[in-house]
Amino acid sequence: MQSETDLPDGSELSGVRSDQRQNPTGPYLTAPEDLGSLLPGEPSFRTDQLREWLYEHPVLDPEEMTNLPVRVRNALGPNHWPFAVEVEQSSDRGRTRKWLFRAPDGAAIEAVLMGYRRRTTLCISSQAGCAMKCSFCATGQFGFERHLAPGEIAAQVAFAAASLRDRPMDDSPTRVSNVVFMGMGEPLANYASVREALRRLIDVMGISARSITVSTVGVVPGIDRLAEEPWSVSLALSLHAADDHLRETLVPLNARYPIDELLASARRFTAGKGRRVTLEWTLMKGLNDTPEQARALAAIAREVRAHVNVIPMNPTPLAPQQRPSDLQIRRFVDEVKRHGANVTLRDTRGTEIDAACGQLRVRSATPPEDDPAGNSGQHRNRTADNR
């Protein structure tokens, strides 16, 4: 990306000090209801003030918590955020901001903020790395590091909100209006943490449940649990193939939860929540871009009353799959439409989003042992490329 700015140390610009790397505890790693434990001897209204600064009006630096006494601000200062900002990149004339955060134990966390006219969407990570090993996804190839804690998930949203407040994006809302779990990790494989993060985003931060999308590769028990939760969050299913044979080659988890079971759980979710699910379809040349797949996909979408989102494949260094030509992409979308399904193709901005989401792979962290592309450690202090 031409306009991208790599900051060797984004932390200084963002007001995050490097000494916090040493400290594994802090306000975001404490449940909002337990914040009093961080303020011993302080009256309870201080806890309420702190909670507001953390969730309702997040600030980059505790120094900005103007109604808290200096002693309280100082006590919180060093470990305000549960991670340091290792890299901040911005592109698209400042309307896309990507962060590589680093937890004190070295775990990498990535988030991408995208400004539009009527919404500002943040793509967040639920795990450092991913265990799902989808053959076309860079995160999967990199392997699993660890689950993220609820506070590490919620803090990505708080940090983006604070950044947006500090430096608004042109022509976009100044608050994070939408959140998508489409960064690193499989959210439903880290259910308890994702659930607690959702609770904080919805009940404490005040983000509308409908504006939050949980994207899953198809963890059926997780979908069923999510359907039972009190919030009407949106659900996206990463389908990618209309038959089990092809899907298994792309998504290993399909061996455990085949398409029929996945669609049955999607129907249960839709029935329970009264909400349509989205079927995500990363379009790969010569694999799932055929007219047969388009027709089968349209039939599935009609049957489960789902919306289809076609995402042209973003090439990653270790994946053999390729992006189809623009003509082929258009033909595929038209064929799905012609067979009666509701379908959208990600626009240019969307393509960029998914470039980020599909390629959230951190090269500055420990690389996989067998890295045939020889990319290990090449771009230190950079996030994965976004072509």
Q: Contact between 314 and ligand SAH (CB under 6 A)?
A: yes
Alpha-carbon distances of 79 from 72, 76, 100, 153, rounded to whole Å: 12, 6, 17, 16
Rounded to the nearest whole angstrom, what is the least distance from the CB of residue 387 to ligand SAH in the complex? 10
- Cβ 161 vs Cβ 64: under 8 Å: no
- In the set 86, 88, 110, 335, the catalytic residue is 110
Minimal distance, residue 40 CB to ligand SAH, in Å: 40
> Which of 164, 157, 148, 58 has its CA nearest to residue 109?
148
Alpha-carbon gap, residue 98 to 384, rounded angstroms: 11
Q: Does 110 bind ligand SAH (CB under 6 A)?
A: no
Site for ligand SAH contains 223 (CB under 6 A): no
CB within 8 A of 242, min separation 6: which ones?
259, 288, 293, 296, 297, 299, 300
Cβ-based nearer residue to ligand SAH, 120 or 126: 126
Q: What would the two tokens of residue 80 be?
A: 């305000």
At residue 309, the 3 state secondary structure works out as strand
Cβ proximity of 209 and 231 under 8 Å: yes
11 versus 321: smaller Cβ distance to ligand SAH: 321
Type of residue numbered 331: R
| Site for ligand SAH contains 234 (CB under 6 A) | no
Residue 215 interacts with ligand SAH (CB under 6 A)?
yes
Which helix (H) or strand (E) covers residue 87, if one does?
strand 84-91
Judged by CB, which is closer to ligand SAH: 294, or 356? 356
Identify which of residues 38 and 130 has a Cβ nearer to ligand SAH in the complex. Answer: 130
Considering the complex, state which of residue 186 and residue 385 has its C-beta at the smaller distance from ligand SAH: 186
Question: Mapping DSSP to helix (H, G, I), strand (E, B) and coil, where does residue 74 land?
Answer: helix
Determine whether 134 is an active site residue: no
Question: Which of 71, 79, 18, 90 has the alpha carbon at shortest distance from 54?
Answer: 79
**Using rule CB under 6 A, residue 241 touches ligand SAH:** no
- HSE of 289 in the Cβ direction (CA atoms, 13 Å)? 20
- Give the shortest CB-215-to-ligand SAH separation in angstroms: 4
Round to whole Å and give the CA distance between 117 and 366: 38
3-state helix/strand/coil string of 284-297: CCCCCCCHHHHHHH
Of residues 113, 149, 182, 226, which one binds ligand SAH by CB under 6 A?
182
Catalytic entry in 123, 130, 137, 357: 357
Q: Tell me which stretch binds ligand SAH (CB under 6 A): 82-90, 307-315, 332-340, 377-385.
A: 307-315
Contact 113, 167 (CB under 8 A): no
Q: Which of residues 113-172 bind ligand SAH (CB under 6 A)?
A: 136-137
Reduced to 3 states (helix: H, G, I; strand: E, B; else coil), residue 118 is coil
- Using CB under 6 A as the binding rule, whether residue 354 contacts ligand SAH is answered as yes
- In whole angstroms, the minimum distance from the beta carbon of 184 to ligand SAH comes to 7
316 makes contact with ligand SAH (CB under 6 A) = yes
What is the Cα–Cα distance from 198 to 214, expressed in whole angstroms?
10
Residue nearest to ligand SAH (CB): 358
Q: Is 186 in the site for ligand SAH (CB under 6 A)?
A: yes
Total binding residues for ligand SAH by CB under 6 A? 17
Give whichever of 72 and 310 is closer to ligand SAH, judged by the CB atom. Answer: 310
Question: Which parts of this chain interact with ligand SAH (CB under 6 A)?
Answer: 136-137, 182, 186, 215-217, 238, 280, 282, 311, 313-314, 316, 354, 357-358
> What positions carry a catalytic annotation?
110, 357
